[in-house]
Amino acid sequence: MRIEGSAALVTGGGSGLGEATARELVRRGARVALVDLPRSNGAQLATELGAAVRFCAADVTSEEQLQAAVDAAAEALGGIQILICCAGIGPPARTVEKDGKPHDLAIFRRVVEVNLIGTFNAIRLAASRMLANEPNPDGERGVIVNTASVAAFEGQIGQAAYSASKGGIVGMTLPIARDLSRHGIRCCTIAPGLFDTPLLRGLPEEARRSLGAAVPFPARLGHPSEYASLACQIVENPMLNGETIRLDGAIRMAPR
């Protein structure tokens, strides 16, 4: 799928991995719709990136809000060829806390709802729009890139909800790719390791350096631009389909 001239929708596009990907897509000549919560930095980022970018406020867990955002994006951009799903949350909580209190079920449910169900909500709505696209010379109508995490494979203490949600994204990648293959729509997932996103920027510098040093090579936190580069490579390479790609510097997470 050629990025230049294509229309892309990025969920969680107001910050972190989504912001970096949106910037790279614009740099490569795409028109981009940023989907994020109203309180996010999405509107300011859209203004900064210029006329090729629209901000569509929505909660990915809401059928009505996300449908309206997808419709608005398709109308403003002239369709949707690319979907990048980066919206997600990850509050930590143990199955049973040290004081004996059980994991708050509402927190578990919310993490799964945002990360897993929110991702599928975006996929189903964007893919439905992609069906109207004229196939390119390779027969492609669209490309979907999801965001999982190495926690899908090596969840740490306190990550039961987060790991379950990200494992679900990994698990649905292949069947979605198979579902959409007849329509010329590809689906892949990136599983990032430790990246320099707003979540980690709130930690003390010493803690950030310690986390980076745990990565075998390069011994540092990942740059969001590196995620963006891989997302664009997936879009451009027609043989990448149905796969989850770890982007982690060879780290394998310890229990804590």
How far is it, in rounded angstroms, from Cα 34 to Cα 45? 9
Tell me the backbone φ, ψ of residue 19, rounded to 5 degrees. -60, -45
Q: Residue 170 in contact with residue 109, Cβ under 8 Å?
A: no
Nearest-CA neighbor of 112 among 22, 172, 66? 172
Which residue among 162, 176, 184, 231 is the active-site one?
162
Nearest-CA neighbor of 192 among 239, 242, 153, 240? 153
Tell me the backbone φ, ψ of residue 55, rounded to 5 degrees. -105, 125
12: left (phi over 0), alpha (psi -120 to 50) or beta: left
Helix (H, G, I), strand (E, B) or coil at 86: coil
Count of all residues that appear for the chain in the document: 256
Answer yes or no: 227 catalytic: no
Residues annotated as part of the active site: 162
